[in-house]
A and B are shown apart, each in its own frame.
Chain A
């Protein structure tokens, strides 16, 4: 990989130990993936935040680092709501470690916004055509596919290295030739909003790390796309997909998958909720303002009978404290900075109902709990036991 004179100096350690290590990470990854050079990034989203995921090992590494990020950097969701963790049933030892992790990142200049949807709270972090170094799989998918920015899926250390250097190696989804669709997906069904998570759950398993090009009957809206991409990145490892009528089709001879209403119904039936559901969680990826408004409307005049969590970014909750108030009057809880997948708060339940294809894919493995799926209306109904 070619390095500029300035980059070479940092790589040789002339700018200090932290930058040397950061450069070494970027160069090693660039070599492994065949990058020709480093390119500047607009922003970074750093993975490796939840103490549940990175443990003592990760905390030690971040705490030992010195230096300062040179581009805007935000965090992935943490293992708990950073202020209301007691209400989640998080124990003090875990909370202490989790707060230490966020503090260690803050000392490096990383903003303590812990969210899988940085694009919902700070749109300036990613514009069409920008190169980014983002980590969280659903955010990566959204940035590449909906915003039209360019990012690979970074690990924790490589994202932090990109933030310290302000650059990332040019390979993978930073290169136009790697962004060509590989498979066509014809969706022959009239989709409701809650179908997109299921569709993504099905297609992710089919295409793995391919680049699907969808043909829809009707253009999906932004929350539909968020749910679709998140599910494909969880059941598979799709980091880029196309949905626009203008988008190029996969080249001639590529595989094509037809999805019918029947396919969606099959998964729905398989994952239908039953009496075993003891917790309901909405907000994977983090709820948008519009989704919060929808939940508030559905909960109006109702009391929850089962635990109901709504996960969102702190900035979203603060901007719409009116909606948070309405939701919590029902007994439901709005949690920030975290989600049902990365928090150990989920561990004490047996079966979680979700409206997310991503959570449906992850909960059985990462939380060792059964999962059920329904629309946001069905989730609220299950939590309030209205028939």
Chain B
């Protein structure tokens, strides 16, 4: 199945889905040294974002979050790609400076994707391919 989307940050990547219905503030929520969600109040608490196609409604919080995404990428523990319902500047800028594919403009139904489903995000062509199990 292919889903149309809107390119925010170019590139193409494949990985297992990690999904949350909650917005993410990268500063404070994701540990830049381990890539784990360390905020006990977050749905994804204890999960690692490395190599995942991270699906979340959008970003929030401090603009330093953009640099945290960059740091994850340099450590090799960043998400492979990210999908938002609607991107905001913190995650958009973070993805761009890090070279992580990021798309938005998809239906909120994407948040019902099961964790582990393999997704291919092609931001340049503005499509997401879902491999049905």
Contacts and interface: CB of A to CB of B under 8 A. Distances in A.
On whether the two chains bind one another, the answer is yes
Interface of A: 21, 24-25, 28-29, 31-32, 47-48, 53-58, 60-61, 155-158
A223 to B, nearest CB: 29
B67 A55 contact: yes
Contacts of B68: 57
Contact of B70 (A28, A31, A57, A155): A57
Contacts of A53: 64
Nearest to B10: A24
Contacts of A158: 89, 93
8 contacts: A21-B99, A28-B8, A32-B87, A54-B64, A61-B67, A155-B63, A156-B67, A157-B96
B100 to A, nearest CB: 12
Contact of B66 (A31, A32, A56, A155): A155
A100 B46 CA distance: 34
B114 to A, nearest CB: 29
B71 A29 contact: no
Given A31-B8, A57-B32, A155-B89, A21 B96 contact: yes
A57 B96 contact: no
Interface residues of B, number: 22
A60 B89 contact: no
A48 B90 CA distance: 13
Interface string B69-97: 01100100000000000011110110011
A130 B74 CA distance: 38
A58 B32 CA distance: 12
A12 to B, nearest CB: 10
Given A24-B96, A57-B32, A61-B97, A157 B66 contact: yes
Contacts of B10: 24
Contacts, number: 66
A48 B96 CA distance: 17
Interface of B: 6, 8-10, 32, 63-64, 66-68, 70-71, 74, 87-90, 92-93, 96-97, 99
B71 A57 contact: yes
Contacts of A57: 32, 64, 67-68, 70-71
Contacts of A60: 67, 70-71, 74
Given A28-B8, A28-B9, A54 B67 contact: yes
Contacts of A61: 67, 70, 97
Q: Which 5 A-B pairs have the closest CB atoms?
A: A57-B67, A57-B71, A58-B67, A155-B63, A28-B92
B66 A24 contact: no
A121 to B, nearest CB: 25
B86 to A, nearest CB: 8
Contacts of A47: 63
B57 to A, nearest CB: 14
B93 A155 contact: yes
Contact of B93 (A28, A31, A55, A56): A28
Given A57-B71, A157-B66, 18 more contacts: A24-B9, A24-B10, A25-B93, A25-B96, A28-B8, A28-B9, A28-B92, A32-B88, A32-B89, A32-B92, A55-B67, A61-B97, A155-B66, A155-B90, A156-B63, A156-B67, A157-B97, A158-B93
A24 B97 CA distance: 9
A17 B32 CA distance: 25
Nearest to B66: A157
A25 B63 CA distance: 14
